[in-house]
Structure 1
Amino acid sequence: MTASSDNTAKVWGLVDGQWQEKATIQDPDGVTNIRFSPDGNYLVTASRDNTAKVWVLKSKENHDNS
């Protein structure tokens, strides 16, 4: 995870041994800090305007039970 002065937070992951960007979160108030929830299902961002936002992370796994 990275937080940047360009008002984004980025989630990175290893793909074939290379770090690649998996998701970008835009926040017009600037991202100062980011954390994953312990279960990995949520991402929390803190902004310069003293707010926190909770983001639900969607899995790419197939949950089809048929």
Structure 2
Amino acid sequence: MGAQLYSLVKVLVISAAGAALIKYGLPYGFGLGAIASSNGGAVAAILLPALVMAGLLWWRSMSQTS
């Protein structure tokens, strides 16, 4: 149970850091415009991290069962 809680806390901290970076860092520090200039860009910006994480978790579960 402790390992699961630790993993959950790590995911939440990394997610919060990424959200803060996007919210506060992109408009001021990196000189980039808004992330989503269209609806498709907004959907991609929202779904891409979740899809990457799902792929990594799937890959990890497949490598552990082999």
TM-score range relative to shorter protein: under 0.3
**Higher share of residues assigned helix:** 2
Larger radius of gyration between Structure 1 and Structure 2:
2
Q: TM-score, with normalisation over the residues of structure 1?
A: 0.26
Structure with more relative contact order (C-alpha pairs < 8 Å, separation 6 or more): 1
